[in-house]
Amino acid sequence: KVPIKQGVWKRLLEMDGEPISGQKLAEELGVSRTAIWKAVQTLQSEGFEIDSVKKSGYAIHAKPAFLTLEEMQQYRTSEQIGKYIHLYPSLTSTQVIAHEKAQHGALHGTVIVSEEQTAGRGRLQRKWDSGAGKGLWMTIILRPDIHVSRAPQLTLIAAVAVVKGIEDVTGVQAQIKWPNDVLINGKKCTGILTELQADVDRVQAVLLGIGINVLHDKEDFPEELKDIATSLKMESGEAVNRAKLAATIWNYLEKYSDLYLEQGFEPIRLLWESYSTSIGQQIIARTAREVIEGRAKGITKDGVLLVEDSTGKIHEIYSADIEL
């Protein structure tokens, strides 16, 4: 059953600024006029500009610039991912809140989204720049029943879902740089951070952090990122709808993680390789222990990167920074 607020919101948007009476809304949604009035008040308090015109009814004038639950739910077709959304104006990091929620039993598919992160993080204590209102900063809690050793594959599944989502919503073709970067024209527009809560060797929760630069202009990035980062707006020339992007990624993520649980990693591996920038390229991989130079040959059925050095030796790389 559609919540009243969401139903009202959807009808007002469909009316495109023309008024619709409270009576009509009440009849259509099968609720009282008071319930409609309350829903309108809540929407107004959330930033929607809704006029109530005597006799003729309610009319919507503008959508808020910020993310709303209604709009994200509108585009969602996935069953579980995004069913429960926690939306915040500002947080230290969506990962931190996701850890807390997961520990307290948050269900599979719960999403934490924030307009801003004051301490957004990357891998290895690195920082993730997360300016207010510019990006899509979210963590998705997944509870697949898998061995911990398979968890890194979820990063690769997420990367495929992000590339597909970006393609659907903006028409822009992004590429994946192993393991966790999504690039457009060689610049980073998305980072993915996968963290785990595990019980001996079974996964309890996967906290899939996805940060996408959406509405940034070049000057919105700090100096050190200006030449290496990009946004969907910079690449597509359009102000991309973040709510639609979020929901589209959830839809794909559900589709591909279901596929993965049913058929294993192979179908994902093929998709992933088709979007990869690194495969076939000469790369430098910096792991915690060594630096390996060679040609990226592909990823294994476990998602491990294979690099062939100049002597013909094949290295299996589990975790590294890659330079193209």
Nearest residue to 133 via CA among 20, 233, 11: 233
CB of 90 to ligand BT5, least distance (A): 13
Q: For residues 103 and 303, give the distance between their C-alpha atoms in angstroms, rounded to a whole number.
A: 27
CB of 181 to ligand BT5, least distance (A): 6
DSSP character string of 124-141: TT-B----TTTEEEEEEE
Burial class, 35, CB count within 10 angstroms (exposed 0-12 / middle 13-18 / buried 19+): middle
Rank residues 4 and 235 by Cβ distance to ligand BT5 and give the closer one: 235
Q: Judge whether 143 is annotated as a binding position.
A: no
Rank residues 94 and 257 by Cβ distance to ligand BT5 and give the closer one: 94
3-class DSSP assignment, residue 33: helix
Rank residues 78 and 95 by Cβ distance to ligand BT5 and give the closer one: 95
CB of 257 to ligand BT5, least distance (A): 18
CB of 190 to ligand BT5, least distance (A): 8
Rank residues 57 and 303 by Cβ distance to ligand BT5 and give the closer one: 303
Strand partners, 276: 176
Q: Judge whether 188 is annotated as a binding position.
A: yes
Q: Judge whether 150 is annotated as a binding position.
A: no
Q: For residues 126 and 180, give the distance between their C-alpha atoms in angstroms, rounded to a whole number.
A: 14
CB of 205 to ligand BT5, least distance (A): 15
Rank residues 19 and 122 by Cβ distance to ligand BT5 and give the closer one: 122
Rounded to 5 degrees, φ, ψ at 161 are -60, -40
For 90, residues 6+ apart whose C-beta sits below 8 A from its C-beta are 114, 115, 116, 117, 118, 132
For residue 89, is the peptide bond before it cis, meaning its omega torsion is within 30 degrees of 0? no
| Residue ranges in contact with ligand BT5 by CB under 6 A | 93-95, 117, 120-124, 126-130, 137-139, 180-181, 188, 191-193, 209-211, 213, 225, 229
Please state the residue numbers annotated as binding site for biotin.
Answer: 117, 121-123, 188
